[in-house]
Each structure stands twice: as C-alpha cells, then as structure tokens.
C-alpha cells in the first residue's frame, strides 16, 4: 500500500464490511494501512486485501488511536458505543447505522447531493438509509432546478436489505413452497416467496413505518428542505439484491419530460435508462453490483398539475451503503477534512 491514510473498517467481516473491502480494491484511495475490526468472536479471522492478508482485530481505544478514519458497518447499538471512543481519539467516524443520522451537528451526506456539508463535521459523519440515498440522488437535481412541492415514493426493497437472514429466508421459502408446504416466516412478518409485504421495520406515528419516516426526515436533512412534503410506502419484495422505487414529484416550476431527462442524464451518479421502444428501463437485476442510480420511465404524471413520475433502481448494498460511505471518505481525504 502507498503512503497515505490509515483506514479502519468496523464490522469488516459482515456483508457491508466485505463490500467495502471489495470497493476499496476497485478504487484508488491513498491508503497506508487498512485495519479490519469486528466482534470478539471474529478476532483472528484472516481477510484478503490487494494480495495481502489482514488479521481481524477487536475494536478498542488503542486501534482508534492508530487510525485516521473509521468506516462503521455495524448495528446502531455498536455505533453508539464505539463511535464516541473513536471520536475521542481523533479518528473520524463515517457511520452506516441509524445512530447519528438525525443528530444535531452530524452531517448526513450523499456526496452527489451535499458533499459541502462534510466540512462541518465534529468527528462523525453519517451515511443515510439505503432507500433515502437512492431517492435523493434521483430527485435532487430536479429539486435544485425546478423546486419540489411534494414527493410520493413507494419502495420495492430486496430481501438482502434484511441481511443474510433475509436472503436465506427467501431461499428457504421458495423451496418450501415448491415442495407444497407452508413457509414459516422468521425474518419477515409473512412468507416472502411469491409475495410482497408492505411492512419494513416497526410502525410509528400516523401508521407509517420507521423505514418510511427515515426517508422523510433524512431526505429533508440531506437536501436542506425542512418543509418538503414527502410520503413514503416501503415494501419488501422477493428480489435478492437492489432496491427499486416509484417516485412522483410535484414541481414548483414547469418542466417538460425532455428537460428532465436531459437534466438527469447530466447529473452525477445517475444513468438514465429510458427507451421504452426497446424495453429499456431500470431493473434491480441489472442494477446489482454497480454504483450508479438508474432512472427511467420518466413521464408526465397525468393525474397532477406540473408533475413528473420516475422509476428508479440501485444496488442498496453498494450505493445504498458501502459505496456511499467510501465516497464520503474520498471527499474527506481529497479535501484533507480529517
């Protein structure tokens, strides 16, 4: 590794942590050292990175003293426990959990949208919920040029959003169903094979789920639009990887479909796939293992006045988690903000 930043991954053996390591292999971050951290039961595990073997360590104060930046890919309770320890030892935390996303004074960042907020960090930067990231990348260029009065979004979320357990449950339920038996749900509220479940996370105020309200509050913070009206419906679907979203936007200023297509085609992090003559539009199967947000089915919402409808797909493990975190780190390193 070339002379540069000492970077730690907290949760390196998990799904998002492993994805981070793969993406770091692909991208050219100036790393002096990669430090892999995980739960005590994983300590001693050998991981491979750029032809080297890295031994997994336990996250403690001594390790954070030796690191410049730590990417957190762990549950909220672990982030709450360990992030202040890293912060105290001048190790910048970029956190994937829900621990700090709405905390006052913690930037919530999607680099294509609000990289400028990174400079305001006080030792912790939060990466948003995967569905929020996908949505704001797609709609922020429209918001900035035409303004938004209202956003209505329905998500179609892959089972891998629930981790390895979600993938295994879909596998099991497909086999059980095909064997003529009744699947028994454990990870999800109902059988997931050949089904869609309009229930992700717990129900909260006004009969919305926590997942749905995350999209509301996080998007407002990221886009600096505290009054933006957003209504979300989050649905689990029997897809292994990559989330999709149907989004309807009420605009403040008039825009044609052609203008919106051109705007999005030139926006960072977006690939427009919109050729209905040849059946080309975003789909999770083809968005998987990529870092872009794909937007298509761009059309006038015929039920509204000055409204546009979009269909969006993106890999929620990469752009929705690991890649977004690494993109934040790239901005931090490039501007020496750690």
DSSP 51: T
d(CA 246, CA 229): 16
Position 60 scores a pLDDT of: 87
Confidence of residue 61 (pLDDT cuts 50, 70, 90): confident
Pairing assessment for the beta strands 270-272 and 293-300 based on DSSP bridges: parallel
**Active-site residue, selected from the candidate residues 130, 173, 199, 224:** 130
* Choice between 246 and 4, residue whose per-residue pLDDT is larger: 246
In the predicted model, what is the mean pLDDT of residues 55-67?
A: 93
- CA-based nearest residue to 8, from 72, 53, 52, 60: 72
Lowest mean pLDDT segment, chosen from 3-7, 72-76, 109-113: 3-7
Instruction: Give the rounded distance of the alpha carbon of 30 from its chain centre.
Output: 24
Q: Which residue has the tokens 């129900």?
A: 203
Q: Is the pTM of this model over 0.85?
A: yes
Sign of CA dihedral 157, 162, 163, 165: negative
pLDDT band for 2, please (50, 70, 90 cuts). very low
Of residues 2 and 216, more confidently modeled: 216
Per-residue pLDDT tens digits for 248-274: 999 999 999 999 999 999 999 999 999
Tokens for 6, please give them: 């000492």
Contacts of 155 (CB under 8 A, 6+ apart): 131, 200, 211, 215, 232, 233, 234, 235, 243, 244, 245
The structural domains of the chain, with segments of one domain joined by +, span 5-128+321-334, 132-316
> Which candidate in 36, 91, 121, 243 is catalytic?
243
What is the per-residue pLDDT for 207? 98
CA distances from 310 to 52, 188, 270, 301 (A): 44, 28, 13, 9
Per-residue pLDDT tens digits for 177-212: 999 999 999 999 999 999 999 999 999 999 999 999
Taking domain 132-316, whether its CATH number is 3.30.360.10 is answered by: yes
5-128+321-334 is a CATH 3.40.50.720 domain: yes
Residue 1 has a pLDDT of 41
Alpha carbon distance 272, 293 (integer Å): 8
Pinpoint the alpha helices (H) of 224-310. 257-265, 284-287
The pLDDT tens digits of the residues spanning 99-154 come to: 999 999 999 999 999 999 999 999 999 999 999 999 999 999 999 999 999 999 99
Contact 19, 321 (CB under 8 A): yes
DSSP 133-144: HHHHHHHHHHHH
Residue-wise pLDDT tens digits, 277-315: 999 999 999 999 999 999 999 999 999 999 999 999 999
Sheet holding 69-72, edge to edge: 57-58, 31-38, 5-10, 69-72, 92-95, 124-126
Amino acid 292: pLDDT:
98
Categorize the per-residue pLDDT at 276 as very low, low, confident or very high, splitting at 50, 70 and 90.
Answer: very high
Question: Is residue 46's pLDDT more than 80?
Answer: yes
> Does the active-site annotation cover 121?
no
CB 241 within 8 A of CB 264: no
Decide if pLDDT at 174 tops 60. yes
Q: Could you tell me which of 141, 155, 120, 140 has the C-alpha nearest to residue 313?
A: 155
Residue 26 confidence class, pLDDT cut points 50, 70, 90: very high
**Residue 3: pLDDT above 70?**
no
Tell me if residue 91 is catalytic.
no
What mean pLDDT comes out for the span 31-56?
Answer: 95
pLDDT value, residue 28: 83
Q: Is 37 exposed, middle or buried (0-12, 13-18, 19+ CB in 10 A)?
A: buried
**Distance in angstroms (rounded) separating the CA atoms of residues 282 and 286:** 8
């Amino acid at each position: 590794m070339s002379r540069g930043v000492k970077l730690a991954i907290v949760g390196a053996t998990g799904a998002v942590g492993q994805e981070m390591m793969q993406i770091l292999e692909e991208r050219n971050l100036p790393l002096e050292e990669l430090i892999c951290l995980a739960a005590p039961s994983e300590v001693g595990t050998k991981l491979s990175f750029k032809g080297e073997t890295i031994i997994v360590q336990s996250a403690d104060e001594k390790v954070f003293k030796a690191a410049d930046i730590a990417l957190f890919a762990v549950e909220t309770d672990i982030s709450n426990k360990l992030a202040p320890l890293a912060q105290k030892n001048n190790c910048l935390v970029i956190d994937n959990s829900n621990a700090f996303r709405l905390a006052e004074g913690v930037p919530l960042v999607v680099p294509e949208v609000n990289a400028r907020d990174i400079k305001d960090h006080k030792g912790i930067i939060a990466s948003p919920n995967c569905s929020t990231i996908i949505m704001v990348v797609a709609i922020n260029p429209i918001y900035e040029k035409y303004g938004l009065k209202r956003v209505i979004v329905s998500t179609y979320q892959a089972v891998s959003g629930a981790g390895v357990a979600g993938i295994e449950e879909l596998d099991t339920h497909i086999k059980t169903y095909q064997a003529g038996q009744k699947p028994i749900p454990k990870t999800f509220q109902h059988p997931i094979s050949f089904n869609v479940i309009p229930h992700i996370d717990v129900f909260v105020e006004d009969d919305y789920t926590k997942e749905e309200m995350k999209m509301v509050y996080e998007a407002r913070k990221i886009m600096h639009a505290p009054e933006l009206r957003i209504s979300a419906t989050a649905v689990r679907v029997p897809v292994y990887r990559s989330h999709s979203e149907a989004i309807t936007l009420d605009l403040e200023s008039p825009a044609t479909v052609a203008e919106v297509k051109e705007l999005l085609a030139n926006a960072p992090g977006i690939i427009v796939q919109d050729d209905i003559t040849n059946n080309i539009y975003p789909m999770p199967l083809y968005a998987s293992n990529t870092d872009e947000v794909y937007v298509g089915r761009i059309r006038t919402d015929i039920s509204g006045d000055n409204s546009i409808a979009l269909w969006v797909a993106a890999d929620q493990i990469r752009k929705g988690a690991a890649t977004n975190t690494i993109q934040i780190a790239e901005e931090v390193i490039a501007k020496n903000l750690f």
